[in-house]
Structure 1
Amino acid sequence: MAGIGILLDEDNDLNIINGHLAIGHTTMQEVGLIIQMQQGEQKKVPVLGPNIIQLKKTNVSKFDIVQRLRVHLAIDKKDYKEIKQQIKEIL
């Protein structure tokens, strides 16, 4: 679940400011990480990860990609409809 947490930088490394970990809202950071994940990368929830990279070489429709995102965001209790516009900015 999203909320306040440790922020990551553009390279998904810990964001350290003046020697301290940066803290802030992590919802969109979590969405970005989920989009990048492959299934099996996370030990606690191995089915989480839409495998978007695998789709790059296929003839998949935008609808299929959106459906995958909906399913995998729902696994992490995120509502695609609520964050759809923000996801478009990440992609």
Structure 2
Amino acid sequence: MSDHKDIMLDETDDLMISGGDFFVGESLTQETGIILRLNQGDLKSDPILGPNLIQLEHGVESESDFVERVRIHLKRDNKNYNAVKSRINMNFKKQ
């Protein structure tokens, strides 16, 4: 994957400032996390992007359904699931 550099956000999604300027760093994990929190319709520029993972939390879908939804939405943003899956903490619990 290419080198992902962008303006970084802190744990509350506020801009990180360093020395009076925006802090820039490796952003692949940050970008992936933002995508996984989206619901469809959240982004005006791409209203289809957003895996709606909260729907799966109480549904009857399997872990493979969950992973496939993540894979599809990461691919929509040109991210390879296999390259980032070690950075994703998915605690799939079947009820």
Q: By how many angstroms is 1:82 displaced?
A: 1.1
Amino acid at match of 2:61: V
1: CA distance between counterparts of 2:61 and 2:22?
40
Q: Which residue of 2 aligns with 1:84?
A: 85
Q: Which residue of 1 aligns with 2:73?
A: 72
Q: Which residue of 2 aligns with 1:52?
A: 53
Aligned length: 90
Moved more, 47-56 or 17-26: 17-26
Q: Where does 1:1-91 land on structure 2 (aligned, <5 Å)?
A: 3-88=4-89
Structure-1-length-normalised TM-score = 0.88
1: CA distance between counterparts of 2:85 and 2:57?
21
RMSD over aligned CA atoms reads 1.8
Q: By how many angstroms is 1:2 displaced?
A: 6.7
Please give the secondary structure, in 2, of the residue aligned with 1:48: coil
Structure 2, unmatched stretches of 5+, are: none
Q: Per-residue CA shift, 1:20-76, capped at 9, x if unaligned? A: 211011111000000000001111111000000122221221111100000000000
Please give the secondary structure, in 2, of the residue aligned with 1:67: helix
Amino acid at match of 1:51: N
Please give the secondary structure, in 2, of the residue aligned with 1:24: strand
Q: By how many angstroms is 1:11 displaced?
A: 1.1
2: CA distance between counterparts of 1:20 and 1:48?
30
1: CA distance between counterparts of 2:53 and 2:21?
33
Structure 1, unmatched stretches of 5+, are: none
* Deviation >6 Å, runs of 4+: none
Structure-2-length-normalised TM-score = 0.85
Structure ID, larger Rg: 2
